Chains A and B, each alone.
Chain A
Amino acid sequence: MPRTRSGQTVNLKGGRPQADMSALGRALRRLFAYYPRLAPLTMGCILFSAVISSIPSLFIQNVIAIIERWYSTGDWASARPEILHYVIILAVLYVLALLSTTLYTQLMAIMTQGYLNKLRQELFNEMQTLPIRFFDTHQHGDVMSYYTNDIDTLRMLISQSLPTFIQSGAIVLVVLGIMLYFSVWMTLVLLLGVVAMFYVTKTVGGGSARYFVKQQQSLAETEGFVQEMMNGQKVVKVFNHESESIAAFDRLNDALRDNSYRANAYANILGPIINNIGNILYVVLAIAGGVFLLTGVPNVSLSGSAFSISILVPFMNMAKQFTGNVNTLSQQINQIVMASAGAGRVFKLMDEQPETDEGYVTLVNVVENPDGSLTETAERTGKWAWRHPHGDGTLTYTLLKGDVRLTEVDFAYEEGKPVLHDVSVFAEPGQKVAFVGATGAGKTTITNLINRFYDIADGKIRYDGININKIKKADLRRSLGIVLQETNLFTGSVMDNIRYGRLDATDAECVEAARLAGADDFISRLPEGYSTELTNNGANLSQGQRQLLAIARAAVADPPVMILDEATSSIDTRTEAIVQRGMDKLMEGRTVFVIAHRLSTVMDADVIMVLDHGRIIERGSHEKLLAEKGTYYQLYTGAFELE
């Protein structure tokens, strides 16, 4: 492919890329793993076409020898059969070369894209299995650059560097062999020049690679700055801060230009230098050849033939071919350095520890028999039960009710920095449990533990009496609906977004869920109603509207337990009241955990937990807590700030 799509904008932080040869090997081995037959076949074709296209020089030499023998006679008729003989062999070789070239270039096109596709999908699938911890500790931009920049460097590796290496490498070897066949002396002269080329490639090419790394760092810095400024552009306008931010941008932009200039200048210079070393070498060879011819130095060669003009001419052509290919090889240096770094990063992601799941209790549909026992069924009955296989081979079914109990739970995100201490929460089916407390008090952490985004350090969490560690994560999470403060919507229609909560929900069910969530009103006023396409995380909706959609999405899933983490923070109080009514209807007989900043949202909870530094310091109903005149009372009267 003729262009680097985004290969020049690797989002590099710190010291990347470092050449990582083992990653490079892994990337190549993967090609053979993906294409166990096609890859060797392609490599074979490349090799074949490389070898076969360097042989003709031999025949050209023969033809010229014949011409030399006959040209003084001027007798074309006698020379013709001999010449034609070689020309026909040549033509046959060319046809073969052409066929193998056509074959391998087509195969390369298929394999390169297939390789990237497989790698991309493998990476994506691997990423889906990673624990939330990974996403909490990595910048999104960084994760994205695995897919864009790092995979892109591998595209260049597979589609360009690899064939070039095989081809040019093979040609270099074959031509070297042929040259030795003709004359060892001449070949030695040539190799002297090659040493010079290697030296130049190492210094100039190395310098170029070094500055390419710097260029990437500069680019990442500039990108970061631009991102910050573009996000805050309105603030810049309000403060008339335009000229200052241009000045700051200029500094980064100029540094980027400097590094980019050096990197490209080195890279651009390498070609002409190698090329002209080749030219000078050509002259040196011609003179050396002339000297050999004139002085009649005994030729040492594999062929044993004497030195003559019929050797010198093809030798010179081969020398040109030889240096040309060395030049081609040297041009790949930057590509390979970048690819090895890219491969290193891609494999580092693939090697991340996936989320583990030893759960064996699953969620199944059941019908309740007249005697109260449960029978599993494949149909959707609206009744769910935990299917619990026991060690002794028996199987029990427990009706899904939504009873969640945390007992003496301790937890730390990082070893030695405990976030929750001895937290016990009992939520009975149908109860509304609210968490109140400052930022960092551990409210969201508790919900992270219930759905096992993180695992507890000590204590117990039971769901309908079953230890949640025994429940399959997917089934556990299916039974919990979560609505987060930060709403994430997907590209697709409004209907698709609601249906995300339950993929087999009918349109009518989705609309009903939207109505319950209080979202139906604004959706029907959108230009295309439920078919309105959302892009860019629903950028055309207000924050409050997006939250309403997220609530509808959770509602359609119809889970026995709901977690609302600041789910109505961006909805004004009047609309919130409407949502509240819908939610109350929706959550009848279900367990709800609510985290809210606005106390009016949590006042009607059955029990309110006040958290402080990872401990529950107060618990009880609104009235009870007010009567206690403790922290909650102070919060309520505005004496404390909730942050």
Chain B
Amino acid sequence: MIKTLAKSLREYRKPALLTLVIIMGEVFFEVLIPFFTADMINMIKDGAALSEVLLLGGKLAVMAVLSLLCGAFAGRTCAQASTGFARNLRRDMFTRVQAFSFENIDKFSSASLVTRMTTDVSNVQFAFMMLIRTAVRAPLMFIFAITMAFIMGGRLAMTFVVVVPVLIFGLLMIARKALPAFRSVFRKYDKLNESIEENVRAMRVVKGFAREDYEKRKFAAAADGICADFTRAERIVALNMPLMQLCMYFNMVFILTVGARLIVSSAGTLIDVGQISAMLTYGVQVLMSLMMLSMIYVMLTISAESAKRISEVLVEEPTLTDPAEPVAQVADGSIDFENVSFKYSEHAKNYALSDISLHIDSGMTVGILGGTGSSKTTLVQLIPRLYDVTEGAVKVGGVDVRAYDTDTLRNAVSMVLQKNELFSGTIRDNLRWGNENATDAELVEACKLAQADSFVQSFPDGYDTRIEQGGTNVSGGQKQRLCIARALLKKPKILILDDSTSAVDTRTDALIRAGFKSFIPETTKIIIAQRVASVEDADLILVLDNGRIADRGTHAELMQTSEIYREIYQQQTKGGEDNA
């Protein structure tokens, strides 16, 4: 996991390492300064000349300035390294997701990907920053301070032999007890927030059923439980401070008593007053460095959860790869399914598609009908190789789709997805997804064909009208027609409409189909629809049931042979006279 994340450090390895080095300098001065201040006090006490005092003061001031420069510089490089690392992590995740196949995408919910790229990265960034600031500082400080304490204080430093193990043991105990508690409560806390989101989203249901009080009780129970858990965990961590103080105070008392005795009994030859005050300072430094280490340990462990979630994305291997020598040209729009079976995952019990064999000539119009869950979408998704078949083969233009370069294949096979999205930006921007170099004339032409031009022209800003996030400012039918226009701009050899006109009225729907017929006759058109009317005039209609082609034929044939088809047809024209 750490290895995976570390790969994203790249160009920020330098500032990270630099930080470590500079912090060594900072620590060096921080430890040295009390040494000289002790000297200074002794000097003053011994009645040294002012010039000597000034000289030493000058040295000290220089050290302080150097220490400041180190600190400031390290602060910058550290910020550079940690924010840069976070940037790379976000970028690597985003890039990785772009390489995902549909199968990979299905594995992660979009909400969880968003959290991984924001909150989790922020947590890791923060932990990383603390790490590089403290990883060198704390141990170095500890070593320096304890060494200096032994040099300066001699026997007095024996106090650390007692205090340090006690503190380390105490801190470890606290961390060991607190960490599992925190980890479990964080997970619960995330769940609590999810339940709030659920409540907000479902507010009409809550109010509609007058369930406000029920929701309050439900929330209070969950929140109280989490509060109790959190409190338990925090109370353990809260022992850090008293433990630290205990050690510090013990140190103080020990140094004062034993130190006083040493000075007095040796008449100031073994140790002097200045050394005592330096010892007190070192004492604090030794303990602080241990405290820092324990804090970083706790923090790293807690953010490990975030790191894990990030690395899950980074190590996810795209399940579709291009062949070594891809075919770079799609000959025509013919499609063949040869004994195709498909299931969404290896472990799935049931096949979504079973034993499909099918030939479609280039330029044909094919309609697909079938109930919810009959695998209509699954079938067409195999054509632009959004998923790979489990058994058998799908061929486009006579070549197995797995032999093509994916970009080439998908440029030739344009699919309008059922759950389609427009992106924030102008209508023009959105259409150019189909072809970034499309001229305005081409845009208009595609829109005319998709019956979108007239309503786009009716907007005050026309093709420059801004689409809001999620396409909320156009109606469902308008959105669908824009999506069709966008797909047409690719000038594909095969066009697939997956229930793409469900919100479009029947007349416009018919106009779109008539346009297809006269303007793109050589393009193979595959139309999945709920309405019989949308597929009635197709060259071939497939009726899917439970992952199999139950019936196939033209409208006239199916009315004779297919019971399901007849049932759907009658259902939709029940009581009606002329359902155009």
* Binary interface encoding of chain B residues 96-120 relative to chain A, with 1 for a CB under 8 A from any of its CBs, else 0: 0111111001000111011001110
Q: Tell me if B372 and A491 are in contact (CB < 8 A).
A: no
* Binary interface encoding of chain A residues 248-284 relative to chain B, with 1 for a CB under 8 A from any of its CBs, else 0: 0110011011001110110111011101110110111
| 17 contacting pairs across A/B (C-beta < 8 A) | A2-B299, A4-B126, A63-B256, A120-B223, A148-B193, A222-B118, A234-B386, A234-B417, A241-B433, A245-B98, A261-B79, A267-B75, A272-B75, A286-B41, A478-B210, A500-B211, A637-B580
Beyond A275-B71, A474-B210, whether A144 also contacts B242 by CB under 8 A is no
Tell yes or no: A66 within 8 A of B by CB. Answer: yes
Q: Tell me if A638 and B506 are in contact (CB < 8 A).
A: yes
9 residue pairs, one from A and one from B, having the closest CB atoms: A272-B71, A268-B75, A638-B506, A641-B505, A488-B202, A232-B421, A276-B68, A117-B227, A230-B110
| Total residues of chain B contacting the partner, CB 8 A | 175
Cβ contacts under 8 Å, A235 to chain B:
417, 420-421, 433
Q: Tell me if B477 and A128 are in contact (CB < 8 A).
A: no
13 other A-B residue contacts (CB within 8 Å) besides A238-B417, A240-B410: A2-B298, A84-B257, A236-B98, A237-B102, A237-B105, A257-B84, A271-B71, A275-B68, A279-B68, A284-B57, A290-B43, A478-B209, A536-B194
Tell yes or no: A75 within 8 A of B by CB. Answer: yes
User: Roughly how many angstroms separate A575 CA and B370 CA in the complex, as a whole number?
Assistant: 11
Tell yes or no: A367 within 8 A of B by CB. Answer: no
Cβ contacts under 8 Å, B80 to chain A:
261, 265
Q: Tell me if B372 and A140 are in contact (CB < 8 A).
A: no
Tell yes or no: B198 within 8 A of A by CB. Answer: yes
Q: Tell me if B98 and A3 are in contact (CB < 8 A).
A: no
Cβ contacts under 8 Å, B207 to chain A:
132, 451, 453, 477
Q: Tell me if B75 and A600 are in contact (CB < 8 A).
A: no
Smallest beta-carbon distance B11→chain A, Å:
12
Cβ contacts under 8 Å, B44 to chain A:
286, 289-290, 293-294, 309, 312
Tell yes or no: B345 within 8 A of A by CB. Answer: no
Tell yes or no: A246 within 8 A of B by CB. Answer: yes
* Binary interface encoding of chain B residues 241-260 relative to chain A, with 1 for a CB under 8 A from any of its CBs, else 0: 11001100100110011001
Among A1, A83, A229, A626, the residue within 8 A (CB) of B257 is A83
Tell yes or no: B140 within 8 A of A by CB. Answer: no
Cβ contacts under 8 Å, A229 to chain B:
94, 423
Tell yes or no: A377 within 8 A of B by CB. Answer: no
Q: Tell me if A239 and B433 are in contact (CB < 8 A).
A: yes
Cβ contacts under 8 Å, B476 to chain A:
439, 643
Beyond A268-B75, A637-B580, whether A282 also contacts B129 by CB under 8 A is no
Tell yes or no: B189 within 8 A of A by CB. Answer: yes
Tell yes or no: B575 within 8 A of A by CB. Answer: yes
Q: Tell me if A642 and B505 are in contact (CB < 8 A).
A: yes
User: Roughly how many angstroms separate A503 CA and B241 CA in the complex, as a whole number?
Assistant: 48
Interface pick from B162-170, B212-220, B394-402, B554-562: B212-220
Interface of B is mostly: helix
Smallest beta-carbon distance B422→chain A, Å:
8
Nearest to A115 among chain B residues (CB) is B227
User: Roughly how many angstroms separate A439 CA and B253 CA in the complex, as a whole number?
Assistant: 80
Tell yes or no: B158 within 8 A of A by CB. Answer: no
User: Roughly how many angstroms separate A124 CA and B213 CA in the complex, as a whole number?
Assistant: 11
Among A73, A124, A224, the residue within 8 A (CB) of B216 is A124
Cβ contacts under 8 Å, A70 to chain B:
264
Cβ contacts under 8 Å, B71 to chain A:
269, 271-273, 275-276
User: Roughly how many angstroms separate A106 CA and B237 CA in the complex, as a whole number?
Assistant: 9
Among B105, B196, B260, the residue within 8 A (CB) of A233 is B105
Tell yes or no: A480 within 8 A of B by CB. Answer: yes
User: Roughly how many angstroms separate A198 CA and B468 CA in the complex, as a whole number?
Assistant: 46
Cβ contacts under 8 Å, B419 to chain A:
234
Q: Tell me if B434 and A71 are in contact (CB < 8 A).
A: no
Cβ contacts under 8 Å, B118 to chain A:
9, 219, 222-223, 226
Tell yes or no: A306 within 8 A of B by CB. Answer: no
Interface pick from A332-340, A397-405, A566-574: A566-574
Interface pick from B228-236, B335-343, B442-450, B519-527: B228-236
Tell yes or no: A501 within 8 A of B by CB. Answer: yes
Smallest beta-carbon distance B504→chain A, Å:
7
Smallest beta-carbon distance A642→chain B, Å:
6
Tell yes or no: B439 within 8 A of A by CB. Answer: no
Among A132, A253, A267, the residue within 8 A (CB) of B203 is A132
Cβ contacts under 8 Å, B433 to chain A:
235, 239, 241
Cβ contacts under 8 Å, B567 to chain A:
574
* Binary interface encoding of chain B residues 504-544 relative to chain A, with 1 for a CB under 8 A from any of its CBs, else 0: 11111010000000000000000000100000000000000
Tell yes or no: B323 within 8 A of A by CB. Answer: no
Interface of A is mostly: helix
Q: Tell me if B90 and A253 are in contact (CB < 8 A).
A: yes
Beyond A94-B252, A501-B209, A643-B503, whether A242 also contacts B72 by CB under 8 A is no
Q: Tell me if A228 and B264 are in contact (CB < 8 A).
A: no
Q: Tell me if B470 and A140 are in contact (CB < 8 A).
A: no
Smallest beta-carbon distance A429→chain B, Å:
20
Tell yes or no: A395 within 8 A of B by CB. Answer: no
Select the residue from A1, A73, A112 with max chain B CB neighbours within 10 A: A1
Tell yes or no: B319 within 8 A of A by CB. Answer: no
Interface residues of B in 167-196 (CB under 8 A from A): 182, 186, 189, 193-196
Tell yes or no: A56 within 8 A of B by CB. Answer: yes
Q: Tell me if B122 and A641 are in contact (CB < 8 A).
A: no
Q: Tell me if B280 and A575 are in contact (CB < 8 A).
A: no
Tell yes or no: B328 within 8 A of A by CB. Answer: no
Cβ contacts under 8 Å, A282 to chain B:
33, 37, 60, 64
Cβ contacts under 8 Å, A223 to chain B:
114, 117-118
Q: Tell me if A246 and B95 are in contact (CB < 8 A).
A: yes
Q: Tell me if A67 and B371 are in contact (CB < 8 A).
A: no
User: Roughly how many angstroms separate A98 CA and B260 CA in the complex, as a whole number?
Assistant: 24
Q: Tell me if A233 and B97 are in contact (CB < 8 A).
A: yes
Tell yes or no: B321 within 8 A of A by CB. Answer: no
User: Roughly how many angstroms separate A622 CA and B575 CA in the complex, as a whole number?
Assistant: 10
Tell yes or no: A408 within 8 A of B by CB. Answer: no
Smallest beta-carbon distance A43→chain B, Å:
16
Interface pick from B2-10, B45-53, B357-365: B45-53
Cβ contacts under 8 Å, A243 to chain B:
98
Q: Tell me if B576 and A636 are in contact (CB < 8 A).
A: yes
Tell yes or no: A102 within 8 A of B by CB. Answer: yes
Tell yes or no: B70 within 8 A of A by CB. Answer: yes
Q: Tell me if A287 and B277 are in contact (CB < 8 A).
A: no
Nearest to A293 among chain B residues (CB) is B44
Tell yes or no: A528 within 8 A of B by CB. Answer: no
Tell yes or no: A506 within 8 A of B by CB. Answer: no
Cβ contacts under 8 Å, B281 to chain A:
320
Tell yes or no: A180 within 8 A of B by CB. Answer: no
Beyond A110-B231, A147-B196, whether A273 also contacts B57 by CB under 8 A is no
Q: Tell me if A129 and B78 are in contact (CB < 8 A).
A: no
Tell yes or no: B14 within 8 A of A by CB. Answer: no
Q: Tell me if B505 and A316 are in contact (CB < 8 A).
A: no
Tell yes or no: A174 within 8 A of B by CB. Answer: no
Beyond A238-B384, A283-B60, whether A76 also contacts B265 by CB under 8 A is yes
Q: Tell me if B87 and A253 are in contact (CB < 8 A).
A: yes
Cβ contacts under 8 Å, A625 to chain B:
none
Q: Tell me if A572 and B530 are in contact (CB < 8 A).
A: yes
User: Roughly how many angstroms separate A105 CA and B243 CA in the complex, as a whole number?
Assistant: 11
User: Roughly how many angstroms separate A557 CA and B503 CA in the complex, as a whole number?
Assistant: 31
Cβ contacts under 8 Å, B205 to chain A:
482, 484, 488, 500
Smallest beta-carbon distance B171→chain A, Å:
12
Tell yes or no: B572 within 8 A of A by CB. Answer: yes
Q: Tell me if B200 and A140 are in contact (CB < 8 A).
A: yes
Q: Tell me if B242 and A83 are in contact (CB < 8 A).
A: no
Cβ contacts under 8 Å, B90 to chain A:
222, 253, 256
Interface pick from A378-386, A420-428, A537-545: A537-545
Among A106, A240, A503, A622, the residue within 8 A (CB) of B407 is A240
Tell yes or no: B289 within 8 A of A by CB. Answer: no
Q: Tell me if B122 and A9 are in contact (CB < 8 A).
A: yes
Q: Tell me if A477 and B210 are in contact (CB < 8 A).
A: yes
Select the residue from A9, A264, A282, A539 with max chain B CB neighbours within 10 A: A264
